[in-house]
Amino acid sequence: MRLLVKNISSLVTMGGKNGPRCGSEMMDAKIIHDGWVAVEDDRIMSLGSGKAPDKNFETVIDARGKTVTPGLIDPHTHLIYGGSRENELEMKLKGASYIDILKAGGGILSTVKATRAMSKEELKQSAKKSLLEMLKYGTTTCEAKSGYGLNLKDEIKSLEAIRELNFEQPVTLIPTYLGAHAVPLEYKNCREMYIKEMIEDVIPIISRRKLAEFIDCFCEEGVFSIDESRRILKAGIDAGLKAKIHADEMEPMGGARLAAELKAVSADHLLAADEEGLISMRDSGVIPVLLPATSFYLMLGKYADARKMIELGLPVALATDYNPGTCPTESLQTVMTFACFGMKMAPKEIITAMTMNAACAISRENEIGSIEEGKKADIVIFDCPNLNYIVYHFGINHVSIVIKNGKIVVNNTNGGI
Ligand code: IZC
Ligand code: ZN
């Protein structure tokens, strides 16, 4: 199957090294004007500017007036869960904090109850709806965490759901084990036993069955301490998993430094990270994954300091944090709004953070994250004349066409391509 996208007003290739784009490099999105991209089967065959090749293509898309980018990559989602938490809204408006609600047995723990009550099939059906939504907004790959089972059986159920979903719908999923998301109620008075069971029983099984590629830990005041997080993540690393960490979101815990010490692939959130922690991340090659839609939704009145991270030379990535409590949105276009107007990131930095740097945050930079010869043909066509326009005109879906593995999977043009 051969497909051609031609007459592209603005082709954002992200070409160059398959690796993190650090600091000022994030402004270099390698944009081609009047471009074209040729696809063969699931790969990008060639690209250029000016006159497109006129070989026999089965499908030709005219992208005049449009902007084309690599498929968006969401490197932090809590995809697999049961129920929803709109009941917490009024408590929040009255001033209850996220941690207050969790300590009262709500928050994550109420989602755990709903998730345990659902079968794997039910969880998959629910996640499929979200994945279709992601795809419509331009996401072609996402990381997906477990973390609402919090026992061997239900964590495995969640990770198996992720594995199976990879074959049942177009979005590529990267599985992460997040048993250290909260201490489940039944271990409330013996948290050490829960940690020991994760380390001695659950992690070895998940690793042996190759159910996860990453291990993550919610390192936060009132959830898991630095020492506990270190033990859990180390156990995962020793078992062959790569590390991610929810770090320094609300309280400055030293999560950024721990990520550097463990050579984690990413440290996520980082609102309260100090400069020393950020520098240690930079020097150890840890990707900061920022989640500004969550900061907005938690009404924190502040965002992670993206400008400082870029100034320090870090390769910032962006994600939704899609989850039922602190960020119920699948849309990376929504995240663009908060990245720009909350964190003052420029559109070129934002697209770098949602493509190449996001690919690095899930160790997929050799396969996806840019439009270059030989890469997977994951491509989004936005009905916008240039990149700035996507961010500028906010609150709507700009996607015209999504191509995944060389196939059109979303088409909002009424068939008139
Ligand atoms: O369900 O509250 N922050 N984990 C860490 C979450 C948010 C998800 C949730
Ligand atoms: Zn999260």
Locate 385 and state its tokens. 């004349």
Atom index in ligand 1 nearest the CA of residue 220 equals 5
Q: What is the mean pLDDT of residues 210-233?
A: 97
CA pair distance 312, 97, nearest whole angstrom: 31
Q: Which ligand is nearest to the CA of 324?
A: 1
- Tell me the per-residue pLDDT of 309-353, one tens digit each, with 9 for 90 and over: 999 999 999 999 999 999 999 999 999 999 999 999 999 999 999
* pLDDT at 376 exceeding the cut of 80: yes
Locate 59 and state its tokens. 């499908």
CA pair distance 34, 336, nearest whole angstrom: 25
Output phi, psi for 220, to 5 deg.
-155, 150
- At a CB cut-off of 8 Å and minimum separation 6, what does 408 contact? 3, 59, 401, 402, 417
Measure 109 CA to ligand 1 centroid, in angstroms.
10
Mutate to test the pocket of ligand 1, among 216, 218, 294 (most ligand atoms within 8 A of CB): 218
- Give the pLDDT band (50/70/90) at residue 103: confident
Q: List the one residue out of 269, 244, 255 whose CA is nearest residue 177.
A: 244
C-alpha torsion 250→162→176→324, nearest 10:
0
- Tell me the per-residue pLDDT of 228-242, one tens digit each, with 9 for 90 and over: 999 999 999 999 999
No. of helices (H) and no. of strands (E), the chain: 16, 16
Quick check: CB of 294 below 6 Å from ligand 1? no
- Tell me the per-residue pLDDT of 269-309, one tens digit each, with 9 for 90 and over: 999 999 999 999 999 999 999 999 999 999 999 999 999 99
Quick check: CB of 218 below 6 Å from ligand 1? yes
**Percent above pLDDT 90 for the chain:** 95
SS3 category, 180: strand
Work out the number of other CB atoms within 10 angstroms of the CB of residue 416: 6
CA pair distance 151, 140, nearest whole angstrom: 30
Enter the pTM of the model. 0.98
- Give the pLDDT band (50/70/90) at residue 416: low
Q: What is the mean pLDDT of residues 204-214?
A: 98
Mutate to test the pocket of ligand 1, among 220, 268, 326, 327 (most ligand atoms within 8 A of CB): 326
